[in-house]
A and B are shown apart, each in its own frame.
Chain A
C-alpha cells in the first residue's frame, strides 16, 4: 500500500508540475502571437524621426530607379533605364535586334503587354510613394520632427519626382499638348497619398482630366520645387533647384511656350552671350568632352539630374542600361543597335567625337552600339534624366522658333562644336536652323531616351514632325557593312500615322479592370 501511495504522490507531482508549467507558459504568452515584422518598419513609425524620414526619401528615389517587373524584381522602371530604352524603342534612331523589345519597337502593345504595363504601373508607384512622403513630412512638422523649411525642401524633391513621373505618363498615354492646346484627355494627376483603404474614396474620383490640366499641375509642382530646393547642391542624384528649372524648360517646350523656355533658360545662364555657358544656379556647364557625363556619371559638371544606380542596386541583366545597349563582346546583350540611318545621316558628320567616343562597334557583328553606359558587369551606370546640354538645345529651339536665330545659333554651337571637327563646324547659321537643332538633339541625346518625347511633341508639326511613329528598320536589315556613313536604307517597317490608335499606349488592364472612370475613357482602339 505504501508503495502505491508513493507512486500516487509521484504521479500527482508530475501532473501538478505539468499543469503549473502550462499555466505559467500560458500566462507569459499572452503576447505570444503579437509579432511585429522583422524586415520592415510598421507604417506608424516611419515618419517619427529625422533619420527615418531621410530613409523614406531615399526610398522614393529607389522606386524611381528600380521598380518592379510583373511584381517581381526590378528592371529599372520607370527611370532607372526603362524610360530611356522604351523611348528609344518607340522611335527610329535605334533598332531592336532581338525579340526582347519587339512589342514596343513594332507598336504591337496591348493592355497586357509587359513593357507598357510595367512602365505605367511603376510611374504610379513612384507617384504614390511621393505623395505618401509628402503627407508624412507634413505630419512630421506638426509633430515637431521637421522644421517648416526642412519640410518644404523634402516636399520639393517629392514634387519634382511627381511632376517628372506625370510628364512621362503624358508622353506615352496621352496626346501631345499641340493637339488642341491640351484639350485632349490626359492622365490621372494624383496628389493625394493612398496609404490605407480609407484613401480610396477620394482617389476614385480622379479621372483622366485634360492634357492641359496635367501640364498645369506639372508646372505647379516644378514651381514649388524651384522655390524650395537647394540652388547649390551638386548631388544630382537628388532633385535640386537647377534640375527643377531645367525640367520646366523641357515641359514648356512640349507646350510650345517658347518665351517660358527662354525665361527658364535665363535662370540657368543661357542668356549669356556665349560661346560657352555656365549656370548661376548650381554652376552647371558642359564637360570638355562629350563623354564626360557618361564616363564620370557619378560626378561631372553637366548632369543636372540622374537616377543613381550602383552595383548593389540596379535594373539587373534584364534592365540595366549597359546590359541592354552594349554588344555582347562588351558583356552586353546585343539587343539594340544604333540605326545605320542615324549613324550614316549627313548631319552626323564624319569625325564627330560622339561617333568615336560614344558609339562602339560590336566585334561579333560589326554593328554600332551605343557606348554611353559601359558598366555591363556591375551595371552601376546612372541613368541621365536631364543635363545642361538639353537646356541649351531647348532654349536654342525656343529662340530659333521665336525669331532669335543669332542666339539660337550660339547655343547650338555650344553643344555641337564640342564634338564636331573644326572643319565641319557651321560658319554661319544653317538655312533651317530649327531642323539643325532638332537633328543635333538626335545626335547629342542618342541612347538617352529623348527621341520619343520629340516625336510625340512634334507629331502635328507640319514642318518638323514625323506625323506619327516613323518607319523603322527591321533587325534583318542591320549588318555591319551598312555602317559606312553613306547608305540610307529604306525601312521595312511601315510608319504608323498619328491618328492610328497605336500612337498611344493603352491604359493597362490592371487599371481599367478596377477603375470604371478610366475604363470609360480608355484610349480608343484598345
Chain B
C-alpha cells in the first residue's frame, strides 16, 4: 500500500513538473434533471494532450496547455458534451442522460462494447425496467422488452420458468432455451425441482441487476460458440459508483389474483346435464340429485374456490454501494415472500450479494470477488398440468361435482364411505374415475423444494502493458436443492400405498474457469480490440432419494422430513452425471475512422456429451458495419441532415447447441431391478459418429437515429439455418430399440424473420415528456429435412413435417354436429363427411341431402384422415411501451401482443366437455337436443369421450386462435421533491402503484392464450408447444411500492 501511494505521488510529481506552465481550469459536472454531481466523468482536453476525471463531488481541476481549445466531457450513459475554454477558468457542464444509448456500454461476452460499435444484434434491458415488477423471477417479465425475444408465462405456478425463445425455436430434440450468463459465469437454469417447480433464475435478486443484454444473431453470439444456438442472455449485476456510499431500499407489496376462471356448470345445470347423459345410455335412470346444506339450501359449490385464491406478496431489497479510485463495492440484501394464486403454491426467498473489487500494485492488478447466496423455498402441489391427474388441482376442480359440498356439516371433508373418492352427496353415483376431494388433498399433501443457491466468482486482472490485460476468473454455481413430497394415507394419491413419503437431496455443482487476454488500442483512426482465452467448465449433478410407503402415522410425515422406522416399505435411489466443457476462443474487433467496423471470432469447443473422437467443433463468426452517416456525402447533405446516425451492419456465424442431453451417442446398459434381483438392460442405442448440432446464422440490419436523437429505429432481417440437428431419429417400434429412437445428425430447419424496433421521444418539455417504444418481430419456421427420408415426427396433437413449421397442429377436422340426430361429424381424407353415433357406436356416412339418414356405413376415422391444421408458435409478437412524465409523476403503459398461432385446448376437450359423471363447462349447455337444432356440441351420452370428442387426438373443434393483446403493466409513480428530502438525508424517493396483466384481449376461450403444458426445457417443448391442458392461470397483480435512495 505504502509503495503504491509512493508511486502515485511520484507520477503526480512528474506530471506537475511537466505541465507547470499551464492555465488551470476548474469546474463541476452535474446531471441534467436531478442536478446531482456526477463523479468519474472523463474530461479530455481538445487541441492538446491531457485530461482529468471528476472527483466524488463532481469537481475537476485541469491544467490546460496553451493550444487547448475546448474540454470534452464524457461518461457512460450520458451524451458527450464539448465546451470551449473561455477566459474565466471555470467551466461547468450539465450532462444529459443518453436515453438513445449510442454511447451505452453493452455487455457482449468476455468484454463490453460501446453500442455504436456493435455489428451484431444485441438487445438490452435495464435492470430498472424489471426490478419493480411483482414477479417470482425476471424471465417471466421479459415479454415485449426486446425484439426477437418471445417470453411466455405458460402457467401461474411460481417456480415454473418462462418459455423463452430467441428468434424462434432453434432445435427439435435438444434444448431451445437460451444460455444465461451472470457476470461472465454460465448460470444453471431450467426447472431444477424434483417434486415441485424450482426456477434458479428466480434466485437472482432483480434489484441487483444493472442490465440484461440479449445476444441474438450469429455474430453477437459466436463468442459463445457451441452454447449459442438459442441465443444468450447476459446478466450484469450492479457495481458501486464512485462517490460517497449510496444506500437504496426498494420494496413492493402486491395482491395477486387469478386472472381468469372457467365458467363451470352450477349445481342445477350439472344435475340436468348429468341426468341427460345417463338418460340416453340407461333410459329412465336418474343419477344426480340436489344435495341439501344444513340450513336447507341446495349445495352449489364452485370448486375453483378450493384451488385458486388471491395471494399477498411482498418484496424488500436493500443495498449499499460505493467506490473509490481503488475499491469498488456493492452489498445487497433481499427478501421476498410470494403467495401464489394457486392454493399451496408459495415462495419465500432470502438473498444477499457481496461484490468487491480492489486495485493494487500501482493499479496494475485488480482483484475481485462477487458472491451471491440465495435460500429459496418453493411450496407446490400436484398441478396436474398436461394430464387428467386425479389429484391435479385444476383437473379435479373442473371435474368435481358442484352439487356436493367440500366439507360436511361437522367440518370434516366430504368423502365417500371408504374415503376413496369425493363424497356423492345425494347423487346415486360417485364421481367417475375416483376423483378425490381436492380440498382434502391440498390440505394434507406436501410438495416442497428448498434450495441454497450459491453463485460467485473471483478474478484477478493484470494490466501487462497499456491496453493489454490478462484475466483469470473462476466462477461457481452450486445449487443444493432438497425436495420433499408427502401423500396422505387416508385420501388422494397416497391412499393406494397407505401413505408415501419421498425425499430428495440433489446437489448440483458447476465450476467455470476462464482465462483471457485482451488488448485494446487506438492508433489514430484505427481502433482495435482483441480478446482471446481459454475456458473450462465441469458440472456434476447428483441426487439421492429416500422413499417409503405404508406410513405408520401421518404425524411423522407432516413435519417435512422422512423419519426412520415410520415406513414399512423403504426404498432408496440415486444417480449421478458429469459433464465437461473445454474451449479456446478469440475475437478481433476493428474500427476504422469510426466508420468501417469489423468483428470476427472463432471458437473451438469440446464437450463431454458427444462420443470420444467427435467432441470437437470449430465455430467461426464475422460481421461488418458501415456508419454511413460519417461519410462526407452523407454528413454534408442537407437533405439527410435529419439523420444523426446511420449504421448498416451484417454478420454470419456458425454456432452450436450443447444442451443435447446426456451422452446421446453412447450405447449404454443401465441398472434395473427384476423382482428382488438387480440387473442391467440396454437403454440407449449409440451412434459413435454423432457430432455437434450446429446452426448458421445470418443477420442484416441497420440502426438509425434521427430528428435530434429523438427517434431511433432499428430493423433486422435474420435467417438461422439449423442444418446439423441432433435429431431423435424414430426407429420402427418393432425394432425394439430403447425408446424407439437414436440420436443422429440429420434434419434441418430454418427460422427466418424480421425485427423492428422504434423508440421515440414524442414530446419533451420542462414539465412533460412522452416516450414510446415499439418492438415487433415476425418469425417463420420451416422444417426442411428430417430423418428416414423425411418421415414425419408425430406427437399427440402436433406434427413436425418437412415444409411445415415445427410442431404444427395435426388432427381430425370437425365437420360440426349433424342437426338431424346430434352426431359429431368429421371430415375424412377424401373430403367426405362421416358421423359417429353414440347410440350404436358405429360410423355412418353423412348424407347432406338427408341428414337423418344413417343407413350407409362409414369408415371410422383413421390416422390417414389427420391433416395439418395450424401453426403452434406465434409468427408475430412484440411490445409497445409508452411512458409519460409530468412534473413529478410518471406513467407507464406496457402492452404485449402476439399471434399467427393456434392453441389446442385439451382442457376443453377432456374436462369441460367430458361425457363422464363429472362436472363440465357451460359450453355443454349448447348440446344438441332436438332434430333441426344447429349447434357445435353433440348430443349427450355417457362415457364416450373417445368416440364423441376423439380424446387423445386433436379435434379441430377445440383448436382455437391464439392472438392476443395483453396489458402487461400499467404503472403510476410519483417522485417526491428532493428539496423536501434533503432534510431527511434522502436522495430520492419514488412511490408507485401498478397493475400487471390488467387485461387480455383475445378470442381464446381458455384461461390465458400463453398457457401451455410443454414449457421451457420440459420434454416435447419444441415439438409440442401450444397445448393447454389443465394449466393453472397466470395472475393479475396489483402492486404498491417505493424506491428509496440515501
The answer to whether A515 and B668 have CB atoms under 8 Å apart is no
Q: Are B534 and A515 in contact (CB under 8 A)?
A: no
If A129-B736, A328-B420 touch, does A313 touch B673 (CB 8 Å cutoff)? yes
Q: Chain A 283-318 against B: per-residue CB contact (8 Å), 1 yes, 0 no? A: 000000000000000000000000011111100010
Query: Given the complex of chains A and B, what is the CA–CA distance between A494 and B684 in angstroms?
Result: 44
A120-B733, A331-B495, A377-B550 are contacts. A195–B742 as well, Cβ < 8 Å?
no
Q: Does B986 contact A (CB under 8 A)?
A: no
Contact across chains for A514 and B791 when beta carbons are under 8 A apart: yes
CA distance A108 to B513 in the complex (A): 58
Is A329 a contact of B418 with CB atoms below 8 Å? yes
Known: A37-B663, A99-B916, A494-B840. A62 touches B679 (CB 8 A): yes
Give A89 Cβ to nearest chain B Cβ, in Å.
14
Bound CA–CA A179/B224 (angstroms): 64
| Partner pick for A476 among B282, B433, B860, CB 8 A cutoff | B282
B673 / chain A contacts, CB cutoff of 8 Å: 58, 62, 310, 312-313
Q: Which B residues are CB-close (under 8 A) to A42?
A: 666-669
Asked whether A197 and B744 contact (CB < 8 A) given A39-B576, A59-B674, A525-B860, the answer is yes
**Of the 9-residue stretches B190-198, B361-369, B712-720, B973-981, which lies at the interface with chain A?**
B361-369
| Contact A195 B946, beta carbon cutoff 8 Å | no
Q: Tell me, yes or no, whether A342 is within 8 Å of chain B by CB.
A: no
A378: Cβ under 8 A from any B Cβ:
yes
- Whether A153 is near chain B, meaning CB under 8 Å from some CB there, is no
A476–B942 touching, CB < 8 Å:
yes
B982 → chain A, closest Cβ, in Å?
Answer: 44
Residues of A with C-beta under 8 A to B581: 33
Q: Is the CB of A513 within 8 A of B791?
A: yes
A514 engages B943 (CB within 8 Å)? no
Cβ–Cβ < 8 Å partners of B678 in chain A: 55, 58
Min CB distance B743 to A, Å, is 10
Contact with B along A217-232 (1 / 0, CB 8 A): 0000000000000000
Q: What residues on B are CB-neighbors of A487 within 8 Å? A: none
Q: Smallest CB–CB gap between B950 and chain A, Å?
A: 9
Residue B305 lies at the interface, judged by CB distance under 8 Å to chain A: no
Which listed segment binds B: A110-118, A257-265, A391-399?
Answer: A110-118
Chain B stretch 525-576: residues in CB contact (< 8 A) with chain A:
534, 536, 538, 549-550, 569, 571, 575-576
Cβ of A190 and Cβ of B736 under 8 Å apart? yes
Question: What residue in chain B is nearest A111 (Cβ atoms)?
Answer: B863
In whole Å, how far is B896's beta carbon from the nearest beta carbon of chain A? 34
Say yes or no: is B498 at the interface (Cβ < 8 Å to chain A): yes
Contacts of B420 in A (CB 8 A): 328-329, 334, 364
Partner of A127, one of B462, B736, B792: B736
Q: Is A344 an interface residue (CB 8 A)?
A: no
Residue pair B791, A308 in contact (C-beta under 8 Å): no
- Across chains A and B, the number of contacting residue pairs, with CB separation under 8 Å, is 317
Find out whether the CB atom of A511 lies under 8 angstroms from the CB atom of B733.
Answer: yes
A71 is an interface residue with CB less than 8 A from chain B = yes
CA distance A195 to B675 in the complex (A): 25
Q: Of all chain A residues, which has the CB nearest B581?
A: A33
Interface pair A63/B681, CB less than 8 Å apart? yes
In the docked arrangement, what's the CA distance between A188 and B731, Å?
15
Q: Are A494 and B841 in contact (CB under 8 A)?
A: yes
Q: Cα distance A323–B439 when bound, in Å?
A: 24
Q: Which residues of B contact A426 (CB under 8 A)?
A: none
User: Taking the complex as formed, is A403 at the interface, i.e. its CB lies under 8 A from any CB of chain B?
Assistant: no
A125: contacting residue among B738, B744, B861, CB under 8 A: B738
Chain B CB within 8 A of A475 CB: yes
- Tell me if A7 counts as interface (CB < 8 A to partner B): yes
A30 and chain B: residue at smallest CB distance: B582
Known contacts A18-B472, A310-B673, A331-B498; is-contact A108 B947 (Cβ 8 Å): yes
Identify which of B285, B496, B550 contacts A317 (C-beta below 8 A): B496
Point out the residues of chain A lying under 8 angstroms from B498, CB to CB. Answer: 331, 377
Q: Is B298 an interface residue (CB 8 A)?
A: no
B733's contact among A10, A332, A510, by CB below 8 Å, is which?
Answer: A510
Smallest beta-carbon distance B193→chain A, Å: 18
Residue A24 is within 8 A (CB to CB) of chain B in the complex: no
Complex contact A11–B364 (CB within 8 A): yes
Whether B686 is near chain A, meaning CB under 8 Å from some CB there, is: yes
Whether a CB of chain B sits under 8 angstroms from the CB of A85 is no
Distance between A509 CB and nearest chain B CB, rounded to angstroms: 6
- Shortest B577–chain A CB gap in Å is 6
**Is A376 close to B, CB under 8 A?**
yes
The residues of A that contact B538 with a CB separation of less than 8 Å are 32
B607 touches A33 (CB 8 A): yes
Query: A526 within 8 Å of B by Cβ?
Result: yes
0/1 per residue, B911-933, Cβ < 8 Å to A? Answer: 00000100000000000000000
CB pair B668 A124 closer than 8 Å: no
B571 touches A312 (CB 8 A): yes
Residues of B within 8 A of A (CB-CB), count: 109
0 or 1 for each of B404-433: is its CB under 8 Å from A? (1 = yes): 000000000000111011000000000011
| A370 at the B interface (CB under 8 A) | no
Q: Do the beta carbons of B416 and A364 come within 8 Å of each other?
A: yes
* Residues 784-801 of B at the A interface (beta carbon under 8 Å): 788, 791-792, 794, 796
A312–B118 alpha-carbon span in the complex (Å) = 59
Residues in B with CB closer than 8 Å to A332 are 496
Which residues of A have CB within 8 Å of B762? none
B946:A124 contact, CB within 8 angstroms = no
Interface positions, chain A 48-74, Cβ under 8 Å from B, are 52, 55-63, 65-66, 68, 71
- Please, how many angstroms separate the alpha-carbon atoms of A220 and B582 in the complex? 54
Cβ 8 A contact of A331, one of B472, B496, B663, B861: B496
The answer to whether the Cβ of A121 comes within 8 Å of any Cβ in the partner chain is yes
Known: A18-B515, A196-B686. A514 touches B736 (CB 8 A): no
For B669, list chain A residues within 8 Å (CB): 40-43, 46, 56, 59
B672 within 8 A of A: yes
Q: A56-B679, A194-B737, A518-B734 are in contact. Are A7 and B685 (CB under 8 A)?
A: no
- Is residue B76 contacting chain A, with contact meaning CB distance below 8 A? no
Digitize A473-509: 1 where CB-to-B-CB distance is under 8 Å, 0 elsewhere.
Answer: 0111100000000000000111000000100000011
In residues 643-693 of chain B, which contact A (Cβ within 8 Å)? 662-663, 666-687
Complex interface bits, B863-895 against A, C-beta within 8 A gives 1, otherwise 0: 100000000000000000000000000000000
A436: Cβ under 8 A from any B Cβ: no
Beyond A38-B577, A55-B679, is A328–B418 a contact (Cβ under 8 Å)? yes
B3 partner residues in chain A, CB cutoff 8 A: 3, 6-7
CB-defined contacts of B683 to chain A, threshold 8 Å: 40
Once bound together, how far apart are the Cα atoms of A212 and B417, in whole Å? 54
In the complex, what residues of B have CB within 8 A of residue A111's CB?
Answer: 862-863
A40 touching B496, Cβ below 8 Å: no
CA A132 to CA B682, docked complex, whole Å: 8
In the complex formed, the residue of A with least CB distance to B584 is: A26
Asked if B464 is an interface residue, CB under 8 A from chain A, the answer is yes
Say yes or no: is A347 at the interface (Cβ < 8 Å to chain B).
no
Task: Tell me, in angstroms, the Cα distance from A55 to B681 when the chains sit together.
Answer: 8
Contacts of B22 in A (CB 8 A): none
B278 touching A103 by the CB < 8 A rule? no
A435 within 8 A of B: no
Given A329-B420, A476-B282, A509-B794, decide whether A59 and B681 contact each other with a Cβ distance below 8 A: yes
Which residues of B (502-534) have their CB < 8 Å from a CB of A? 513, 515, 534
Residue on B nearest A165 in the bound complex, by CB: B736
Does A410 have its Cβ within 8 Å of any Cβ on chain B? Answer: no
Query: B6 at the A/B interface (Cβ < 8 Å)?
Result: yes
- Of the listed residues A58, A114, A508, the one surrounded by the most CB atoms of chain B closer than 10 A to its CB is A58
One digit per residue, 1 when the CB lies within 8 angstroms of any chain A CB and 0 when it does not, for chain B 281-311 equals 1100100000000000000000000000000
5 new A-B contacts, CB < 8 A, other than A18-B472, A71-B739, A112-B952, are A40-B668, A61-B679, A203-B735, A311-B549, A334-B420
3 nearest interchain CB pairs?
Answer: A128-B736, A58-B679, A308-B675
Task: List, sorted by A's number, 18 A–B pairs whose CB atoms are closer than 8 Å.
Answer: A7-B7, A11-B361, A18-B460, A32-B608, A33-B607, A33-B608, A42-B667, A46-B682, A59-B669, A99-B433, A124-B736, A311-B549, A312-B571, A364-B420, A513-B792, A514-B788, A514-B791, A515-B732
